[in-house]
Amino acid sequence: EDKVVQSPLSLVVHEGDTVTLNCSYEVTNFRSLLWYKQEKKAPTFLFMLTSSGIEKKSGRLSSILDKKELFSILNITATQTGDSAIYLCAVEAQWGNKLVFGAGTILRVKS
């Protein structure tokens, strides 16, 4: 059965800190890994990763995939209180098909 595990489950940091969120997976036919940010409503798309070793970057957020070791990390630098959210990792096991999500990492950034 396809499985996605995120760590840590929750994290509290101060504004300006850098955080690293982890996602490991076991799937039968890996196609892509996606990161989402969820505040009090719908998950919003951050990144899609398909190739190992290629960093995707958007502002203070960046992510990279290691297909050999079956994990991905999401980095957030110079954190702000607006970064407080649940960060979800999901894996697409077939083209255009369902996503298998991890339980998420709850990030709280204190001012």
Partner 1 sequence: DTGVSQDPRHKITKRGQNVTFRCDPISEHNRLYWYRQTLGQGPEFLTYFQNEAQLEKSRLLSDRFSAERPKGSFSTLEIQRTEQGDSAMYLCASSSHREQYFGPGTRLTVT
Q: Which residues bind partner 1 (CB under 8 A)?
A: 4, 32, 34, 36, 41-45, 48, 88, 90, 92, 95-104
The residues pairing with 87 across neighbouring beta strands, listed in sequence order, are: 37, 105
Residue whose C-alpha is closest to residue 74's, from 7, 36, 34, 20: 20
Give whichever of 12 and 78 is closer to partner 1, judged by the CB atom.
12
Task: Tell me how far, at minimum, the Cβ of 79 lies from partner 1, in Å.
Answer: 22
CB 66 within 8 A of CB 72: yes
Nearest to 76 by CA among 43, 51, 47: 47
Closer of 43 and 79 to partner 1 (Cβ): 43
Q: What is the C-alpha separation between 103 and 111, in angstroms, rounded?
A: 26
User: Given the complex with partner 1, which of 4 and 74 has the nearer CB atom?
Assistant: 4
Residue 107 CB, shortest distance to partner 1, in Å, is 15
Nearest distance from C-beta of residue 36 to partner 1, angstroms: 8
